[in-house]
Amino acid sequence: MKSLVIAIDGPAGAGKSTVARHVAGELGYLYIDSGAMYRAATWLVLNQNVNTQDFESIVKLVCQANIELRLNERAAGGPVRVFVNGQEVTDEIRSQEVTRLVSPLSAIPGLRQHLVAEQQKLAFRGGVVMDGRDIGTVVLPNADIKIFLTASPEVRARRRLKDLEERGESPAFDTVLREIKERDHQDSTRAIAPLRQAQDAIPLNTDNLGIEAVVNRILSLCKRQF
């Protein structure tokens, strides 16, 4: 059976990671959360108190670090476990502080070049599902299947708020919505690898679709490739 390379892109809160995890699980593929890698890099910069305008030091720090993704044995279908230099930071990388900084730091050319190369190594043999914002356009432009997930800012803000509340944070909905819109603007207007739909990607709006329905649609597309 052909080992597919599946790229899932979209804005923050569209459901990329959850959908990608389930698709990978159904196919027995490796799931690669590219966003978690950028969040881990951002957490490391904050943890080491590096000036966020000192791009040279940031790139050096990230290139020397060991960012590792592991399957979540404790919760099947749950988020991947993320480690930085052997320390687990799975929960820490989802904080509001990291969320606010991850987009501008992800646009640093040297940092992005390093992490893209790491992601391409992981996907080299196929049998992978990778999600992010530039997977189908930059990281895996030759992916067998490209999906672009979308949802309204309000729906995505509600999803984000629920995740934060489950982690003990309680920001106002308006604050989360504003940050979602700011993140959209940053991601779509950055000079390097901006968020955009690949020409050959299939758009899926998740406003009124449950996870199972979205996953089933993608799996049906995969069956046509076998």
Q: How many helices (H) and strands (E) does the chain have?
A: 8, 8
- Mean pLDDT, consecutive 10-residue stretches, the chain (226 aa), reads 89 91 91 93 98 97 94 64 95 92 92 95 91 94 96 94 88 94 91 91 93 95 84
**Residue ranges in the chain assigned as alpha helix (H):** 16-27, 34-47, 55-64, 96-106, 109-123, 153-166, 173-189, 211-223
Do 181 and 153 contact (CB within 8 A), yes or no? yes
> What are the residue ranges spanned by the domains of the chain?
5-217
- Cα 14 to Cα 9, 18, 86, 215: the distances in Å are 9, 9, 30, 13
pLDDT at 54 (0 to 100): 97
Distance between CA atoms of residues 168 and 99, nearest Å: 16
Residues 6+ apart with CB under 8 A from 20: 6, 8, 31, 33, 129, 130, 131
188 CA to centre of own chain = 15
Assigned fold of 5-217:
Rossmann fold (3.40.50)
Q: Give the pLDDT score at 212.
A: 94
pTM: 0.84
Q: What is the largest CA-CA distance in the chain?
A: 49
Structure tokens, 85: 């230099």
pLDDT score at 74: 59
Q: In the prediction, which pLDDT does 136 show? A: 96
Taking the C-alpha atoms of residue 64 and residue 40, their distance in angstroms, rounded to an integer, is 13
Residue 209 — φ and ψ, nearest 5°?
-120, 135
Q: Return the SS3 of 22.
A: helix
pLDDT confidence of residue 96: 86
